Every structure is written in structure tokens, then in C-alpha cells.
Structure 1
Amino acid sequence: MEQRMFLEQRLSQRMVMTPRMQQAIKMLQMPSIELEALVEAELLENPLLEEIPVDDLQSAETQESIGSSSLDELNLGESLGEDRAAEDWVSSVEEAPRKTEGENLTEGRIELTDDWEKFFEDGGMDVYSSLPSGGVESSDDEFDRVIPDAVSLRQELERQLDIAVDLEFEREIGRAILNSLDEDGYLPATLEELADQTGAPAEDVERVLKVIHGFEPAGIAARSLSECLEIQYHARGMNDPALLEVIRNHIEDLERKRYQNIARALKLPISEVQALADEVAKFEPRPGRTLTPTENEYITPDVFVEKVDGDWQVRVNDDGIAPLRISPRYLHMLEKKDELDRDTVRYLKGRLHSAVDLIKNIEQRKQTLYRVTKEIVNQQTEFLESGVTHLKPMRLRDVADVVGVHETTVCRVVNGKYVDTPQGLFELKYFFSSGLESDSGEDASSKSVMAMVRELVDNEDPKKPLSDQKISELLKARGINVARRTVAKYRDIMGILPTSMRKRV
């Protein structure tokens, strides 16, 4: 078989995810905090991108001076190797009236073409992320405040150990005990294991352990729940033999609310056993978590919804995002490109494309977020007026069809973004839920049904708590058809105890 080399031309079509499209999709699913960080990074990296000074925002004279810079002579598409979409966009900018393009660049606003909508309608992207918002705005005087370092459980216990124990070998035993504690503050290791680890007699280990049992938080280094509660009982200086007996010998019955068994064993009326149970409930079953450092997550709303003159208004939160423009200085340099070397011109044109893309993507994100939130508000007006029990079932497709985008676009918009409403702060995806059949013909949202279940349980008679079947019947009386097993499922999701464990005597 003869082998030879030859040239061949082929014509084909394929979809290419350009850097501009990738940035647009990434920015669309960013919450405000993440977007602020991105803008700050771009401002540091791209010299052609700059914030609009406050004076320029308020001065029409400054805008006119920037607007006098013409882009007609920049030939942005020349020798850049950019994709066809970029060249078309540059051409549309160059053909615009001079004053309009100057004002748009100065104010950081660029008119959007219909073709740009298609960049957000790719159904092939199946990777979504929910990025947590963090951070909070602070005034200048807050920088003067001194924030103390959080004290960990281990640091606090070691401090108490150094005070309570004088001998070094006992401190070594104490440190071995502290190293063996789990996150709840319990000691899973046995005395024999600790003795082998430290090389000390078990009697010495037990003596140091009793010293640690006197540390704060009370109940630390206990080896069981009963021991933990008993340590707290003595730390509070209590003198109730019946309570101590319950703690020592009837914890399992108490956990399962088998009060009859406890009453027979202690020969007490049920009402007194209930009082003992209420007293035990005041104790801390996990003493380690009282000093476990927790990080507070601060949420900055991405959208605000409020009622103004009888109408629901939507406002996208862009307070932390600086208004951007193309640097007039570098635009003037590009006008005189004949005085610059080829590499400098190529670099400036590439940075100009990047800056324009960023400004355009920010504006597109804002418009898409506004339109999606506006449609959510239109469909959930009763929720805004009356609360969660009036939340309607809604799917991504319901919003996507009205807004005119793909479902994946709506998914990117609602993930990780929060809206501030008169009913509270909610993640946008909270408003999307499945529906249950009702007698009125309109489906009821599963979240609204769960809220009704919570309401019924909160208002029930503690002595005669409602069964799942009874709750199902009460919901049917309200026109909502919910099976008993569905009620049990919702109850488990909300962490509501079964009927037998909610009963009080």
C-alpha cells in the first residue's frame, strides 16, 4: 500500500467556549462578595481598567472630555487573532456615535446586543457551584477595635491544668488525657490505655483524671453520658437524690421518655418524673462544644425586594462594586499607535478587549439577576405579603420560560445568592420547590406544607400531641392532600420528634 503525504481542506462547524463566555458564565453564578473580589483583582492586573472617580460621576464636563476620544482609528480587531464574535462586537462599538461611546466607556456601561443573550443559554454546562458569601462592610472606626483571639478548648484546659497540677509527671499525664478527648469533650480511652501510653500507674492516671473532672466546662473528660451529667450535678452543688438516681441508672429510659419505668423504679408519680426530666434537660450533654470555636458566616444580600407605593420593587445590590471605565490615558495612547512599537500595541489592545469584556459581563450579570428575581417576585407575591405558608410551588423552567433563558442560566443565577425581603433573608433557590395537590386545584409548595406542619406541632397540646395521621387529616381539612408517610418525612426533615417523644405528663 502506497503511503504519501498530502494537504486537505475541510469545512466543519463546532461550538467553542471562548474566554469571554467562560468569564460570563463564571460571573453569573458569583455572589456579590465574590464578584467584588474579582473586580478588585482585575483592577490590579489590567492597567486599562479603572474606577470612575466620584468627581467624574457627577461632572458632565469630564464625561464630554472623555467622550471626545474616538475609537475609529484603533482597529481593535487587527492582528489580535481574536475570535469572530470579538471582532463583531468591536465593530459595533466603533460604528456607534462618538458621544455615546465616550459616555458609555466613561460610565462603565456598554449597550448589550441581542447576540450576547446566547452566551448564557448553553445547556451543555452541567457544573454548578454554590459559593458561600462571607464578609461584611465595616466603617473606618471599626479598624480601631481590638478583636481578641478565640480561645480553643485545648488551650483553656491546658491553662487550667498548669494551675491545678504542680508535678511535671502529672502534667504529662494530664496532657495525654487532653490529647485523647474527642470534639464533644468525652474521653474514649480507658485508664489502662492511658497508663500504657504514659508509663504511669493506673492509680495516678485516675487521680489526675479526677482533677480534670473539676475543670470548666463541667463534664469535660467524662467517659459516658451518665458520668458527664453526674459531674455537672455535683458542680452545681445540687442535692436531689432522685435526680442523681435518674442520672446514674435511668438515662436510657429518660432518653426514650419511658417515664412509667422510672416512676415504678423510684416509686414516684409521673409528674415528678417529668420534672426530673426537665431538670436534666438543662444540663450540657456535649461539654466540649461550649468552647469550640465557630466561624460566623456573614451574608450580604445580592438583591433587595421591597414594596414601594403598592408595587414590589427589585434592586440589585452593586454597592460594593466600583463603577468601571476604560482608562482615557491608554485610549489616547492607542489613538497614537504609530508612535508605539508593535508589541506594546498588541498588549494594549488585548487589555482593552479584556476590560471591555469585564464591564459588559458585569452589566449582563446585573440584568439577568434582576430579570430572574423580578419574575420570582411576580410568582411569589403571596409569600411576600403573607409568609411561608403561602409559598407556591415553582420550577426553574417556570422562570426560564418567562425570562427567555435556559434553565441552567436560572440555576446559575439562584445558586449561592440571597435576597432580602420583608419576610426575611432567603437564598434565591429557596423559592423553588415541588408541589402537592390541593382541593382548590392549585398545588401547594412542599415548603409551605412543612411550615403548616411546624405550626400544628407548635400549637398542639403537650399532653396529647398530634399523631402523623391526625396532622394529615388536619391538613386535608385545609384543602391539602398529604399522606401520613409524607407528614412523617417532613417531620424528620425538620427534626421534630415522634408523637411518643413529644408527649408530656
Structure 2
Amino acid sequence: MKQTLQIRLGQQLAMTPQLQQAIRLLQLPAAELNLEIREALESNLMLEAEEETEPGLDSHDPDALPETGLREPSEATLGSDAPDATRLGEAIPVDERWEDTIGPSSSAAGGDRDRAIDPLENRASPDASLQDHLFWQLELSGLSERDRRIGEVIVDAIADNGYLTEPPQDLLAAVPHDLEVEADDIQAVLAFIQHLDPIGVGAQDPREALRIQIAALPDDTPHRAAAGALITDHLEQLGQGPSQHAALRRQLGIDQASLEAAIALIQTLDPHPGSGFGDTRTEYIVPDCMVRRMNGRWEVEVNPEASPRLRVNDYYASLVQRGDAGADNHLMRQHLQEARWLIKSLRSRNETLQKVAECIVERQQGFLEHGEEAMQPLVLREVAEAIEMHESTVSRITTQKYMRTPQGTHEFKYFFSSHVQTMDGGECSATAIRARIRRLVAAETPARPLSDSRLADILRDEGINVARRTVAKYREVMGIASSTDRKRLG
């Protein structure tokens, strides 16, 4: 085989650290973006939040900074008016392993574990888990040491939803042998735990959880006996809806009013007794953009709380020496480059967010003025073509980003929907059709609910050509029961 040399021309896309960072920041929701910015502020000495330090003031060396009257706001944001920082901006070489340095600094994460916690400090504490709540009750229960240790084994086998993950007889193997426990001992302690708070915890299925809760009610609770019978013998039949009410009345020998009262009593119970516990917190949505009507036009503004503005600390940037090869100078040069990249990436993210939001608002003015029934069909490709960006970029910037409008706060994805042809050759969005179905169902007569076929006919009369199966699909997506289940007798 003869060896030869060949020269070939080719192109390939290189994912630089700057591009990787820009793409990652583009898809971060507001909460994660703020966390990323806080970590960057802690780990990068060149960065500072714009609102934290007034231009022209620095506690390290006030005389080292230029006069504030010569500074433009845009230059102050980037820190480009520092003498050395201006010259070094383009000269600093790109470290190919720069992405390895992004993240929270180790000094910020450690070193505080042994610090004494101020009891008066205002800090949020995580919610107690279900197991912690049960262990706490066991400690206060007054059980013997033996029963308490059995109870700990049982609590360990209870899942977050409150159900026992193993049959009681299988828990014998997990109990220490020195306790000499029998199956009856497990059952006795389990029955005790099932009546702790929340009642029904430790049940093996929803039926058992409901049965424990109904049995714990006072004997004089109205309709308790009927509710207990429904849970024990007719739970599956009850789940089939109002169509089974006549059969249930005959089987239990009660009238419609008593049956509805028993069902209402069951609905006050919790088939998942552990659902109220966990480490979850209430997360509040921070809108990335705000839309308001000004001077007869809809204006879009990027929410500054969702993306705080950063700038380079001019004093620290001026300390960087071009020819100094020392470790400290190298670190400052690296921090300066990282700071400039981050600021540029954040600016690019906000500009893309602004463009996409303005494009959506331009096409959905009917929604802003009249509500979701006026929503127009829109797909990602249309926005991508309008702003001259790739469709994948639009997909990233519209995921988990929210827009506050006069019609409420909605995710960007909410404004995108497929279209259905109308009778006159036009288009109607799926969101608008769902809104019409919801309106028609809300106005129907309970004794004579509208079937899917009837809803399709009404929509067709309004000029929207939609099939019955499409109506059924939209109805199920909105969680609206079928006409049979919605029917209520007068």
C-alpha cells in the first residue's frame, strides 16, 4: 500500500466557551439565571451588580477612578472606561479550559459549616418530610422502647405518598432479632401509626387509607355509615361517575340526597395521606417580560428583576498589568475575560428575549385585547423567520420563560398553537377553540349537557370546521368530563 499526502478544504463549527455559555444562559429560567449570576458575583472579583455601587465611587481607592461626569452609562455597564481594561479587552487570550472554572467558588461553599448560627437571623427552614413528622410523633408517643423501635422500622418503609411500601409480614425481617418480634406486634404498632397525623398514613392503598379515616370520625357524623359502605364495597363503582348513582342508591337503600352527602363526606378525606409533606416549596413565577399598553401601542420590556445588570469593577480591572506573568495577575486577567464574556452573553440573551417577545405581541394583539378566544395560530418557525434566528434558538428562549400581560402571566409556549381551518378558508388556533369549548360547557344546562357532537356542531355554526374527535381530545386535555359524567339531575 502506497502512502500519499492529500490537502483538503473543509468547514466545521467549533463550540467556543463563549458560545457554550451563551447557549446555556439562553435556556435558563429566571430563577436559575439569578442563581447563576449570584454564583458568578461570588466567584469573580471583577464582577459587580450595577445597582450595588454608584458610578465613580469605590471603597478601595477613590482617587484611582476617573471622574463620573465623563462616563457614559453604556460604558459604565461594561467597565470599558478603565484605562488598562480598555486595552486588555481584546488582547487577553481565550483559555480553552475556561468553562471548567464556571460555577460556585469553593471558598463560598465551604468554611461556614462550623459558623455559629444566629437564632435571630431571618432564614427559611425546609419543610419537614413525612418520615421526620412521624419520627417526631413516635418520640412523643410514650410507647415502650421495643414498640418505638418497631415503629421506626415501619416508618422507614412508608413512602412519600403515605403508603406502606412492603406488606406488614415482610417487615419482620427488618426488625432487629434481639426484639423477638412476631407478626401481631407489627400489626399492633402499624395500627397505632395509622392513627397518627396524618390519619391513614401507613395504609397499603387508597381504599385502606380512606377506610381508616372514615372509621376515625365520630360515630354521630352524618352519613358516616353510608360513606363507609361506599368505600369498602363500592369504591370502583363510585369512580365511574353519576351514571352509577341509581344503582348505588338501590344497593345502599338511600335516596339521592343521602348519596350525595355521603360522597361529599368522602371527598373531604385524603386518599394520599402523605401528599401534604415533602421538601417542596412554593415557587413564585418571575416574569421575564412585561407587556403594557402605552400611547395606543403594546410595549414590551425585559424585567430587570429577572436578569440583573452586571458590570466590570473598574478599579480591579485597572490593576491588571499587561506584561506581568505573576499568578495573581494571571488570575485577574482570567476573571476579567470571564466577566466580559458573561456580560456579553447576558446582553445577547436579553436582546433575543426582547425580539421574541415583541414578535409574539405583534401577532397576538387580539389575545391581549380580547382574551384567549382571539388567540391566533402561531408556530416557532414563523417567529424564527421574523427575527432571522434559528428555530432551535427560539425554542430555547421560549421554554420556561414567562410574559406578564393584562390577560395574566403566561409561559411563552402558551402563545404557540396549531391551527384549524375555518369555513371561510381562514385559520383558528387550537387555544381559541379550547376557550370556546370551555365557554360553551360553562353555560350549558346541567340536566342537558352538551355532547361532543353537539359542541362540534355549534363550533361549525360559528365557522370553525372541527371534528367530534378533536373536540373530545381538547375536552380531555382541559380536564372536562364527558357529557354523561357532567349530567346532574334536577
TM-score (norm 2): 0.77
Counterpart in the other structure of 1:483:
467
Counterpart in the other structure of 2:108:
none
> Comparing 193-202 with 70-79, which one deviates more in the overlay?
70-79
Counterpart in the other structure of 1:415:
399
Q: Give the superposition deviation at 1:304.
A: 1.0
- The structure 2 residue matched to 1:167, chosen from 125, 144, 147, is 144
**Do the aligned residues in 2 keep the contact of 1:400 with 1:410 (CA within 8 Å)?**
yes
- The structure 2 residue matched to 1:63, chosen from 65, 68, 71, is 71
**Do the aligned residues in 2 keep the contact of 1:80 with 1:346 (CA within 8 Å)?**
no
**Do the aligned residues in 2 keep the contact of 1:491 with 1:497 (CA within 8 Å)?**
yes
1:40-79 residue pairs with structure 2 within 5 A? Answer: 40-44=38-42, 46=44, 48-51=46-49, 53-56=53-56, 60-63=68-71, 74=87
Counterpart in the other structure of 2:161:
184
**Do the aligned residues in 2 keep the contact of 1:306 with 1:422 (CA within 8 Å)?**
yes
1:354-373 residue pairs with structure 2 within 5 A? Answer: 354-373=338-357
Distance change (3 Å), C-alpha of 1:294 and 1:466: farther
1:172-251 residue pairs with structure 2 within 5 A? Answer: 172-187=149-164, 189-195=166-172, 197-198=174-175, 199-237=180-218, 238=221, 240=223, 241-251=225-235
Distance change (3 Å), C-alpha of 1:291 and 1:439: same
1:396-435 residue pairs with structure 2 within 5 A? Answer: 396-435=380-419
**Cα RMSD (Å):** 3.6
Q: State the one-letter code of the partner of 1:491.
A: R
In the alignment, structure 2 segments of 5+ residues that lack a partner are 58-66, 97-119
Q: Does 1:16 align with 2:14?
A: yes
Q: Give the superposition deviation at 1:432.
A: 1.0
Distance change (3 Å), C-alpha of 1:370 and 1:229: same
1:89-488 residue pairs with structure 2 within 5 A? Answer: 144-145=121-122, 147-187=124-164, 189-195=166-172, 197-198=174-175, 199-237=180-218, 238=221, 240=223, 241-257=225-241, 258-319=244-305, 320-325=307-312, 327=314, 330-331=317-318, 337=322, 340=324, 353-488=337-472
Q: State the one-letter code of the partner of 1:28.
A: L
| Counterpart Cα distance in 2 of 1:192 and 1:385 | 63
Q: State the one-letter code of the partner of 1:321.
A: P
| Counterpart Cα distance in 1 of 2:445 and 2:320 | 79
| Counterpart Cα distance in 2 of 1:200 and 1:75 | 75
Counterpart in the other structure of 1:121:
none
Q: Give the superposition deviation at 1:22.
A: 2.7
Q: State the one-letter code of the partner of 1:216.
A: D
Residues 98-134 of structure 1 deviation map (CA, whole Å, 9 limit, x = unaligned): xxxxxxxxxxxxxxxxxxxxxxxxxxxxxxxxxxxxx
Q: Give the superposition deviation at 1:55.
A: 3.7
Distance change (3 Å), C-alpha of 1:196 and 1:304: same
| Counterpart Cα distance in 2 of 1:293 and 1:356 | 37
| Counterpart Cα distance in 2 of 1:342 and 1:163 | 62
Q: Give the superposition deviation at 1:144.
A: 4.6
TM-score (norm 1): 0.75
Name the SS for the 1:289 alignment partner: coil
Distance change (3 Å), C-alpha of 1:466 and 1:200: farther
Name the SS for the 1:436 alignment partner: strand
| Counterpart Cα distance in 1 of 2:256 and 2:417 | 44
**Do the aligned residues in 1 keep the contact of 2:92 with 2:337 (CA within 8 Å)?**
no
Number of equivalenced pairs: 441
Counterpart in the other structure of 2:24:
26
> Comparing 371-380 with 448-457, which one deviates more in the overlay?
448-457
Q: Give the superposition deviation at 1:236.
A: 2.5
| Counterpart Cα distance in 2 of 1:232 and 1:196 | 29
